[in-house]
Amino acid sequence: MRVLLALEAGAGPMSLSQIAASSEMQPSKAHRYLVSLGRAGLVAQAPTSGLYDLGPALRRLGAEALRRMDEVSLASEYLPGLRDRTRHSVSLAVWGDNGPVVVRWDHGAYALPINVRVGATMPLLPSAVGRVFLAYLPEALTGPVLKSQYKPDEENPLDECEVEQVKATVQGEGVAFTSGTLIPGLASLAAPVFTTGSVLPLCVAIVLPDQLATPKVLRSLRTELLATSAAISAGLGYSADRDSSGL
């Protein structure tokens, strides 16, 4: 496993000496493992360069692991803990044809001026969840949805500068925060969840009464939210060290 993890961390073909150094083994020992792994198809050696890389059997294993992975089910396992630690309502959303769709809602200890149902589509700019997707998804996906949800007129055009500022703020802070923009008296913090290849399949959010959203409370909630979103992302196979477009 140390040899395979060294190949995974190398992010490309590696020489025997590189693999030995990364796995903290003598080259002769690493070579014996590489021969055995090669026989099982877990490692392949290029005939021309002699470099080693992950083999076809390992690619099949990875593809099967991804096929079996249910992002929503895995992420949902983390939501009760986040709710219990914060005592606030938490939600999980995925990207749908018409914008973010709530796929899970766990009620907290505080009454909210809204009753969100599973399957509800959230707007992009007014909601924290929407702002996360707006910040991290390609404009080719979010642009048409934003235009369909926002009906500007000549006196109230869509402010492109505001949209770009929202994106920059979310990407810079790692979370989106809204207060009273969707429902008066309602505040929300949302954070992205990544998987392999920096795909953004999910967004997790904390929802609370606006009067409780003090700076001290928000700092604590942000810490809990980012820790939870990072744990979910790791569970889905995401590694920030391997992808520069992550958090």
Q: What is 71-242's CATH number?
A: 3.30.450.40
pTM: 0.70
pLDDT one-digit tens code per residue, 26-80? 999 999 999 999 999 999 999 999 999 999 888 788 767 656 657 888 888 999 9
The label of the residue with tokens 């593809």 reads 63
Domain with CATH 3.30.450.40 in the chain: 71-242
CATH 1.10.10.10 fits 2-68, yes or no: yes
Query: CB pairs under 8 A, 24+ apart, for 121-125?
Result: 121/96, 122/93, 122/182, 123/99, 123/149, 123/182, 124/99, 124/100, 124/149, 124/150, 125/149, 125/150, 125/162, 125/163, 125/166, 125/181
Given a contact cutoff of 8 angstroms between Cβ atoms, the answer to whether 124 and 142 are in contact is yes
pLDDT grade, residue 169 (50/70/90)? very high
Every domain range in the chain assigned CATH 1.10.10.10: 2-68
Q: Could you identify the residue written with the tokens 């589509």?
A: 121
Backbone torsions φ then ψ of 73, nearest 5 degrees:
-65, -45
